[in-house]
Structure 1
Amino acid sequence: MYPCFILILIYLIPNINSKCIWYEGIRPGFNELYLNGEPKPLPLNEIHLLNEMCPHLAKQQGDSPRLCCDGKQLAEMQKNKDLLDNLIGRCPSCYYNLLHIFCEMTCSPNQDQFVWPLEIINITRPNESENTNETGPSEEKIHVGWESPDYVDPEDAEQSETNDQKELVTPKPIEKVSVVRKLRYYVLEKQASAFIDSCWSVRVNFQYAIDLLCGSINRACDYKKLFNYIGLESSQSPLKIEFVFVNGSSYDQDLNRTFHPPQGSMFSCDQPVILPHISRQKCTCMINISLHRRI
């Protein structure tokens, strides 16, 4: 029954005609399928998340950029920041190149030009936590008349009334949400190659960062192995990503759709990172980065 349900959903996916494929983080790694597709403005009080995690995305001062991600999705990216900082943070070009690739996938207002869902599942939307800033009655308060035979202490009456109200509260119905479980992401081959070049000589505790990113040893890795490991083999996220590397626009026979990967440039390992909200010094490249291409 479950596989049939997935197949039916996949069959219906090509009817999505939009600029976005998802919007709003529901649970870690799961973003809601967004059928209407128009990018939505990011609230001004969440712009700092975009500046931190996706500094390359263009935005005007004081304006809310229209994106295919919300603050919850950006906050989810931010949770992995410490891990990335420890792994490749010492080389800004490597670090921000990786952010660039994943920010385009997550937030670009032209998302459906290069990203498409392959599997959709239904999950339960978590209940919104209620902010109950109730202040209990002060124990120092003196109630006049407490000695009367028929007297009912106001605190007891209030507590009894509260309990009665709690019993009358109707549980909020469970809401099912369609989320993307697996997607296909078209990336320019030159971008993927430039990314791995920028990270090639980065070390973490006497180990190459590429080995950790690629799940390999002695840098027996190329960009295809690396992104396959990150997208499909790693257990870091329940979202699975099938990367497809192309040299330009590409027609996908399975999806009956032409994709146009983003054209943004990558930073080389010895190039300082200069972006609207970020300025970082260049890395030290001690290894001939062309060596890995002969693997």
Structure 2
Amino acid sequence: MAVWAVCLVIIAAFASKAESRCSFHGQCGTYIGILGEVGVPCKTDMEPVPLNDTTAEQNLKKFCGDLWKAAPENQAGDKMFCCDSEQVSNLMSNLEIPGTLMSRCPTCYRNFREYTCQLTCSPKQSDFVLVTDYDNETNAIKSIDYALSRNYAYTTWDSCRGVKNPQTQESILQLMCGPYGTSCSYEELFHFMGDMANMQTPFSMNFLFLDSPVDPKTNLTHFDYEAANCSQPAKGEEYACSCIDCPLSCPLPPTFPEDLYRPFEISGVNGYYVVVGAGFVVYILVLAVVFAFSWLKTRSKFARGCELLYKIGGLENSG
């Protein structure tokens, strides 16, 4: 039993170590894009390390809350990540434009930045990121495979596609999807964000959208996150998106009882015909009564006139 216990401890230790590896870390080059100069990380195979930078730690707490909470700690109680303070600084810069575009829809922004936070700093980076090409001289990475849960990718896209650009009032997908335009799919959205042709990405990212947890070709485990739809507050957020940017947040039209839509009938006959017919009959009867009353009144006046003339004629004869 003691031997088995020792074996289990060793296996658990190796498993824990295998779960916490970095595919890249630090900076081994620079890339100049439309946002200016950013660092290109180094290919590596190492355990996560502490940031040792108060500002970087505060930024991760604020913008990457789930990542911060789940990060392992060393014996000194320091959180460990697969990034350094410079990478965190670059991450904050990369989130500025999306933050402006998505400011009216907190859920969209929360869903979107999660994949960026995890890519940059996750202590389990090697689980879902595979470096596929790098510079042999500088060790700077050139391209990666990034395994994502298809559901996460779709929900992130779906929560953002109704969001309007505050300046143009057009869908933000017009900017985020590049040549694919506002009608882009979730695959096209992530494809453009990982394409160096967008002049923002310092290395190429090939996104693998997985329906099952593990990709049989690369053996990568997909990164999954419980993304919320735009009508729900995301984790750590107080508000959902407004009706302007999220159709699901718009109030539903009032519902009426089914009886309201049943045809109006009287004894199996269309009720409107019965009502109109009855009204017509009443109208005729009223006309008849009015006519009869008028005729009787005229006749009475005529009779009195004749009687008066008769009396006048009698008086003249007697004179």
Which interval holds the TM-score relative to the shorter structure? 0.5 to 0.7
Relative distance call for 1:70 and 1:269 in structure 2 (3 A) is: same
**Aligned equivalents of 2:232, 2:176: Cα separation in 1:** 21
Work out whether residues 149 and 213 of structure 2, in 8 Å CA contact, stay in contact via their aligned partners in 1. no
* Number of aligned positions between the proteins: 213
Determine if the alignment matches structure 1 residue 79 to structure 2 residue 93. Answer: yes
TM-score (norm 2): 0.61
**Aligned equivalents of 2:238, 2:82: Cα separation in 1:** 27
1:81-100 maps to which residues of 2 (within 5 A)?
A: 81-100=95-114
- Structure 2 residue runs of 5 or longer lacking an equivalent are 1-17, 31-37, 249-319
The CA deviation string for residues 175-197 of structure 1, in whole angstroms up to 9 with x for no partner, is: x6311111000000000000011
Superposition deviation, residue 237 in structure 1: 2.0
Q: Tell me, what secondary structure is at the counterpart of 2:184?
A: coil
Paired position in structure 2 for 1:50: 60
- Alignment match of 2:129 (pick from 90, 95, 115): 115
1:235-254 maps to which residues of 2 (within 5 A)?
A: 235-253=199-217
The CA deviation string for residues 129-181 of structure 1, in whole angstroms up to 9 with x for no partner, is: xxxxxxxxxxxxxxxxxxxxxxxxxxxxxxxxxxxxxxxxxxxxxxx631111
Superposition deviation, residue 219 in structure 1: 2.3
**Aligned equivalents of 2:189, 2:201: Cα separation in 1:** 15
- Alignment match of 1:188 (pick from 149, 164, 178): 149
Determine if the alignment matches structure 1 residue 214 to structure 2 residue 177. Answer: yes
Relative distance call for 1:224 and 1:47 in structure 2 (3 A) is: same
Relative distance call for 1:121 and 1:217 in structure 2 (3 A) is: closer
TM-score (norm 1): 0.66
Q: Tell me, what secondary structure is at the counterpart of 1:244?
A: strand
Work out the percentage of aligned pairs sharing the same amino acid. 26
Superposition deviation, residue 44 in structure 1: 5.1
Work out whether residues 53 and 77 of structure 1, in 8 Å CA contact, stay in contact via their aligned partners in 2. no
Superposition deviation, residue 106 in structure 1: 1.4
Determine if the alignment matches structure 1 residue 283 to structure 2 residue 292. Answer: no
Paired position in structure 2 for 1:34: 44
Q: Tell me, what secondary structure is at the counterpart of 2:101?
A: helix
1:53-68 maps to which residues of 2 (within 5 A)?
A: 53-59=63-69, 63-68=77-82
Q: Specify the structure having the higher radius of gyration (Cα).
A: 2
Work out whether residues 67 and 109 of structure 1, in 8 Å CA contact, stay in contact via their aligned partners in 2. yes
What amino acid is the match of 2:67?
L
Relative distance call for 1:285 and 1:56 in structure 2 (3 A) is: farther
1:138-287 maps to which residues of 2 (within 5 A)?
A: 177-204=138-165, 205-216=168-179, 219-232=182-195, 233-253=197-217, 257-275=218-236, 279-285=237-243
Q: Tell me, what secondary structure is at the counterpart of 2:142?
A: strand
Relative distance call for 1:195 and 1:285 in structure 2 (3 A) is: farther
What amino acid is the match of 1:40?
V
Superposition deviation, residue 42 in structure 1: 2.0
Q: Tell me, what secondary structure is at the counterpart of 1:182?
A: strand
Q: Tell me, what secondary structure is at the counterpart of 1:207?
A: coil
Relative distance call for 1:33 and 1:219 in structure 2 (3 A) is: same
Superposition deviation, residue 29 in structure 1: 4.2
Of structures 1 and 2, the one with the larger relative CO (CA 8 A, separation 6+) is 1
Relative distance call for 1:185 and 1:56 in structure 2 (3 A) is: same
What amino acid is the match of 2:22?
C
The CA deviation string for residues 47-92 of structure 1, in whole angstroms up to 9 with x for no partner, is: 1121233122143899422111111111001112331122112211
Superposition deviation, residue 252 in structure 1: 4.6
Relative distance call for 1:187 and 1:210 in structure 2 (3 A) is: same
Would you tell me which structure has more helix in proportion to its own residues?
A: 2
Work out whether residues 29 and 239 of structure 1, in 8 Å CA contact, stay in contact via their aligned partners in 2. no
Superposition deviation, residue 32 in structure 1: 1.2
- Structure 1 residue runs of 5 or longer lacking an equivalent are 1-16, 123-175, 290-295
Identify the range of structure 1 (232-241 vs 186-195) with the bigger mean alpha-carbon deviation.
232-241
Root mean square deviation, CA, Å: 2.4
Work out whether residues 102 and 108 of structure 2, in 8 Å CA contact, stay in contact via their aligned partners in 1. yes
